[in-house]
Amino acid sequence: PFHLFARPRGHPPHAARHRRSNPLRRAPPRADPADEPGGGGRTRVHGGSGSWLPIADACVGHNQFAAALECHLKPSCFDALPAYPFALLAHGREVHLVNGQEGRVKAVPGEALVKKLASYRDARFNFQPGMEVVKTSSCFTRPGSVQLVHISAAQVDADYEAVRRMEREGRVYEIEPIPEEGPDGAAEGKGGAGDDAEDAEEKAAAEAARRRRAAQEAEALRLGDADEEMLA
């Protein structure tokens, strides 16, 4: 789920607006309006495990998460924040990585490569050698992210394109296929099996990947339902 937070200036800390939406539900977002003092809005601010926080701090001097805490705990600090960031202190982008292969991670060469970028600030790689990965189909199956910050917008854009180029060339994750197991539990090879056998293996691999994706999305929905029960 994604959460947006805002408090009209001049309203007490408990007057908050909470908006959440779950892209997997394909339903309108739920809002808890509390535009008037005394409204019972519920507020949580997060997203992407907070990987964007260093970018916000570097570019505008503060971040949404800290502002939410100050709104409730230090209202005077919240009211001192500018209504709009009048000037950027730096430029930044977060690159949400996309994986186009199914299989098992053999190595993560991108971990060292992105650190050489001029605008590199931080990175998160969700898969390590030995782990199975699926093709990216949602934010829940993305293999990681790279945070870029630099005084030059052109440098940030160039490094963003460099990361995308690494993805296309297979230099972020080195992935090897997972051998299919035969009836006796041994891995089967494709040599001499014929076109029909190869087609069957490809279909089996595709079905296994589909089931893994379905399981990941079901788990994401379960966690979203648990969040709603806690807030109810």
44-69: average pLDDT: 81
Higher-pLDDT residue of 227, 105: 105
Share of the chain above pLDDT 90, in %: 39
| Single residue among 37, 63, 89 that ends a domain in this structure | 89
One domain for residues 80 and 104:
no
Confidence label for 194 from pLDDT (cuts 50, 70 and 90): low
Q: Is residue 225 one of the residues assigned to a domain?
A: no
Q: Is residue 20 one of the residues assigned to a domain?
A: no
Q: What is the pLDDT of residue 200?
A: 74
Reply yes or no on whether the pLDDT at 152 is more than 60: yes
One domain for residues 107 and 165:
yes
Angstrom distance (rounded) from CA 35 to CA 16: 7
One domain for residues 55 and 133:
no
Q: Is residue 36 one of the residues assigned to a domain?
A: no
Residues 157/162/167/170 CA torsion (nearest 10 deg): 180
Q: Is residue 79 one of the residues assigned to a domain?
A: yes
Q: Is residue 16 one of the residues assigned to a domain?
A: no
One domain for residues 113 and 162:
yes
| Single residue among 89, 113, 143 that ends a domain in this structure | 89
Confidence label for 219 from pLDDT (cuts 50, 70 and 90): low
One domain for residues 66 and 115:
no
Q: What is the pLDDT of residue 212?
A: 75
Q: What is the pLDDT of residue 12?
A: 41
One domain for residues 75 and 147:
no
Helix (H) / strand (E) containing 2: strand 2-6
Work out the mean pLDDT of the chain and round it to a whole number.
75
84-115 core/surface letters (b: 16 or more CB in 10 A; e: else): eeeeeebbbbbbebbbebbbebeebebbebbe
Q: What is the pLDDT of residue 166?
A: 96
Q: Residue 126 sits in a domain of what CATH number?
A: 3.90.1170.30
Reply yes or no on whether the pLDDT at 14 is more than 60: no
| Boundaries of domain holding 80 | 50-89
* Domain count across the chain: 2
Confidence label for 161 from pLDDT (cuts 50, 70 and 90): very high
One domain for residues 104 and 143:
yes
Q: Is residue 188 one of the residues assigned to a domain?
A: no
One domain for residues 96 and 58:
no
One domain for residues 102 and 169:
yes
96-120: average pLDDT: 95
pTM of the predicted structure, to 2 decimals:
0.60
Q: What is the pLDDT of residue 82?
A: 84
One domain for residues 100 and 148:
yes
In this structure, the strands spanning 103-107 and 120-125 are unpaired
One domain for residues 85 and 98:
no
3-state helix, strand, coil in the chain (%, to 5): 40, 20, 45
Most confidently modeled of 11-25, 131-145, 196-210? 131-145
Nearest to 144, CA basis, from 130, 163, 158 = 163
